[in-house]
Structures are given as structure tokens and as C-alpha cells.
Structure 1
């Protein structure tokens, strides 16, 4: 079905062929909400005011309903077009597809949280400004811990749209896409303001492989020292220090429970001060 020369599936809608904005789904093949949201846009063929590029990044994994076939695509950017690993080639091809875009929305889903979460790099202030206007309550800089992630090497705001394989995640992804298209002037209309809190990922929380854990805490609720974070049949993980749980789940990752984080601010300006980003008058 797919050969060695497989490429991302790309559609451009709107006037002209030089798209400056893009929406990407399907980096992970077992996260259908983003793919469905992208396909809804393609099927509805709206009257865009500017060209928009719509990309399914990993068609073989999407067709197989698997997170990846060779390696996790969202850990190997910028990729390698000559690699024997399919996802490394697709990562390089996806970057080539969005090379001329000033901003990109990348859609994912998660095992850890019902509501949308935005992830942005501290190195890209314009993307931070756009994320701050999306309808999300939590905006996270994963830079210290996410090697090879898409937002680290392109102007990408990555959104975890909700719990994996739920209709709610698809509806959330669809709403995020509509907001993104309005914020980038591809569609008319206003996006209501959302109060967001900003976070920095500081560390990963390891777990024993092939062990069933029961999570004892809630994401984005501060964990105090001495709190039991997770239990298995024969062990407990107890917090040594205070942290904010981010993308923590019992089944989302093979070798970690998720991530520790800390609050960076309750406004974009305060978060940027924490991240060491110079203030910008344009946001």
C-alpha cells in the first residue's frame, strides 16, 4: 500500500498556491482526532480568504492505526530524508511541506486530559502570541524535555485536543482548527478570549516497563512533597518535591508516567519573562 517513497498527504485550499499557514494532523497514527478535523476542512471546502495547506503527516501509521511504524515521528524532527526509518523520512518531508509557512497548527490527542492543551517553544515568540489567543486553558513550553519534537524546529503550535479515540477530542480539534483559521485571517470571525496559565516542563517521570500503575493525582494540579503520585502492585512513586503534573497518564507512554512541570506565569508576558523571551509590543 505504501512504498519507500511515501510522502505526507497534502491539500491546499483557498485563493492562490503559496500557503503561508498550515494545519497538520496524523503525526501519530493512533490519534485520529486531528486527522478527522483536517479531513472535515477538506470535505467542507470553505471559502478561505487566503491559501491554507492541510497535511496528513504520517499516512502509513494512520492507515495502520498505530502511533508509529519505525520510530516516534514527534521525537525525530528535523528528520532525515535518507534514513531507513519511515518516520524520519516523513519528518523531513513534513518540514519541507511547511517550510514557507509562518505558522503551523499541529493536532494531537492524549491519554491524560480531556481539554485542549497547547505546546509551544520558548524560541518562537510569534507562535506563543497565537497560542495565547487560542481557546485553551493550559499552554506549555516542553523545550527542556522534548528532544526532536515538531515545535522545536518550526513555527508550530501543537495542540493536544483531548482524550485519545474520543469524539470529544475530535470536536475539540475541530473547534481549535476553526479558531486557528480565524486568528490567521483565513476565515472571518472573532475568537473569544480564554484565560490561560503557562507552564514549563522540567523533567520526565520514569516508570517500570510492563507494570500497571494507578495514577493518584490530576494533571495541572500542584503536587506537594510526600504525595503519592502513582501506585503499582508492588511499589509507590512518592513526590520528593513540589511540581505540576503535565501529560501524566497510566497508559500514554511505555517508559514514563508523564512529566513534571512548574508554572511559568498566568499571562503571556509573565511566562515570557520566566522563559527569558524579550517582551513584544505586537502581541
Structure 2
């Protein structure tokens, strides 16, 4: 685990990259920020978590790190021990965790619930969607208090790395580590607002309902677009030519042919906007 710091003092703001070794966008964003060495108004901790998996170019070595929290100092796997030590590093911090996906190029935010941290942070990010995972995030870093995750874009793409960098700067502005008039952040917020996002009233909130399992097969297909409603009877995926249709309407999220070993992705409900969600 690599740990870097911007500014002096004890950090209460942290960015975590490289939780999965096959998602290089976060480490690239951290490297870029370290090279720029911006003047910060609060100290910031920058963590590249699973160095060994990154070096090997695999999601994890023995256990998915983002299913291993809170971890165990004497755990049986590399990731179990790493999760324990990472949690210790993040104690007392407001956290942004960087991920990428095989499902969509559009970045979006993820929070366990719409709490005061999500309300304070997400409107400053260049996103138009927030996914609530309450009850379906067992073993994930997002269960750490004061944590927001972001899916930065398509796994391995230059666009995801660029998005990750901009998401980090937006987060640092939201947490007062960078000035609120930071030029990069303001340009991103204006661009997102122009696309009907960037304000609580315009950020759509989706709530995870159920995983969408997939059977063992050699070839998979997904026919739907993430966050676009699937109607009853509409086909959404296939496995070795067997087509699956919706028994109930739902919004697909994190859905792709090969992103997960045993899932197509998840079904969600659209529950409103960030501005109209109850406190």
C-alpha cells in the first residue's frame, strides 16, 4: 500500500485508488495530482491500495479487496490483511474511493445512503447520477463512515483516468482542501450543469434492489443501457443464446456481459433526485 500526503498536518480527507488491480484510472489520477503538487488548504492523504494486484494486472490476488472490509490483521488472505490496515489509515477521514467499470463510460457516484456527506460532496462532482447501495454493500469500503465511491468510466480507458482526476479535484473542492474557485473544478461543474446536472435538484438518485445473476455459459450479451428503464417483458441479456426478459420493470446498473463472474449486474429503482431525498 502506497501512502502519500499533500499539505502539512493530520489529514481528515483521503482519496483511495487501486482497490482493484485491473482498474488503473485511480492510480493514474493520484500520480497526476502528486506531480502537480497543488497548494492545499487542508492536508490530504492519497492511498494506492492493492499495489501487488496492480503490478500483476489482476482484480485481486486471493480475495476481492472490496468484499473484504473491515478485514483482519491476521487474516488468511493478502486482501483481508490489507483491508484491515487500509481501514486504520482512513480512520477519521472523509473518503473518496475511485473505481472503473465495464458497464458504462459515464461517471457516477455511489453512496451507502444519501447522508450529509453525499449531500455535501456529490453536487461538486462532474456526475449526474448517484447510486444508493444500502443493504447491498457487505464487505465494501463504502460502509466506512463518510465515504463516497465513484465509477470513473470504462476500465482501462484514458477517459476513465481523466474523469478520475477531475472527480478527485471536485472532491477536494467539496471538502475545502482545494479552493472553491479552483479553475478545473469550476469548469467541470459548469459543464455538468449545462448537461442538466451538478446541482442537487438535477442529480438522479437510484437505489439498488437486487443483483441480477447469470448462469454459467461461454458467451454472454447485454442488450440494455445502464440507468435506462427496462420494461416488463423486455429482453435484457443472454447466455449462450438463451434470452432473459424482465418480469418487473427495473433500471440496470453496473450491467455488462463480463464485468462480474456470476452476475450481469444489478437492478435498481429510480427514487428521485438528490434535492428531493429526505434527510
TM (normalized to structure 2)?
0.90
Aligned residues: 263
Moved more, 38-47 or 218-227: 38-47
Counterpart of 2:148? 157
Query: Is residue 203 of structure 2 the alignment partner of residue 196 of structure 1?
Result: yes
Counterpart of 2:170? 179
Match of 1:262 among 247, 259, 269: 269
Q: Quick check: 1:121–1:128 contact (8 Å CA) kept in 2? A: no
Between the aligned partners of 1:60 and 1:154, the Cα distance in structure 2 is 26
Q: Quick check: 2:2–2:51 contact (8 Å CA) kept in 1? A: yes
Q: Quick check: 1:243–1:261 contact (8 Å CA) kept in 2? A: yes
Match of 1:9 among 2, 19, 24: 2
Moved more, 18-27 or 121-130: 121-130
Query: Is residue 117 of structure 2 the alignment partner of residue 105 of structure 1?
Result: no
Between the aligned partners of 1:233 and 1:210, the Cα distance in structure 2 is 6
Q: Quick check: 1:120–1:131 contact (8 Å CA) kept in 2? A: no
Moved more, 161-170 or 258-267: 258-267
- Report the 3-state secondary structure (helix = DSSP H, G, I; strand = E; otherwise coil) of the residue aligned with 1:139: strand
Q: Quick check: 1:120–1:128 contact (8 Å CA) kept in 2? A: no
Per-residue deviation, 1:123: 7.0
Distance verdict in 2 for CA 1:123–1:117, change over 3 Å: closer
Q: Quick check: 2:17–2:47 contact (8 Å CA) kept in 1? A: yes
Between the aligned partners of 1:30 and 1:181, the Cα distance in structure 2 is 25
How large is the Cα RMSD of the aligned pairs?
Answer: 1.4
- Report the 3-state secondary structure (helix = DSSP H, G, I; strand = E; otherwise coil) of the residue aligned with 1:214: strand
1:17-54 CA distances to partner (integer Å, 9 max, x unpaired)?
x0010000000000000010011111221111111000
Between the aligned partners of 1:39 and 1:267, the Cα distance in structure 2 is 32
Between the aligned partners of 1:204 and 1:13, the Cα distance in structure 2 is 39
Counterpart of 1:212? 219
Please list every run of 5 or more consecutive structure 1 residues that lacks an aligned counterpart in the other structure.
Answer: 1-7, 274-278
Distance verdict in 2 for CA 1:72–1:128, change over 3 Å: farther
TM (normalized to structure 1)?
0.89
Distance verdict in 2 for CA 1:149–1:123, change over 3 Å: farther
Query: Is residue 46 of structure 2 the alignment partner of residue 54 of structure 1?
Result: yes
Counterpart of 1:32? 24
Distance verdict in 2 for CA 1:124–1:148, change over 3 Å: farther
- Report the 3-state secondary structure (helix = DSSP H, G, I; strand = E; otherwise coil) of the residue aligned with 1:114: coil
Q: Quick check: 1:198–1:263 contact (8 Å CA) kept in 2? A: yes
Query: Is residue 223 of structure 2 the alignment partner of residue 232 of structure 1?
Result: no
Q: Quick check: 1:15–1:49 contact (8 Å CA) kept in 2? A: no
Q: Quick check: 1:122–1:128 contact (8 Å CA) kept in 2? A: no
Query: Is residue 235 of structure 2 the alignment partner of residue 244 of structure 1?
Result: no
Please list every run of 5 or more consecutive structure 2 residues that lacks an aligned counterpart in the other structure.
Answer: none
Distance verdict in 2 for CA 1:128–1:147, change over 3 Å: farther
Counterpart of 1:72? 64
Per-residue deviation, 1:221: 0.4
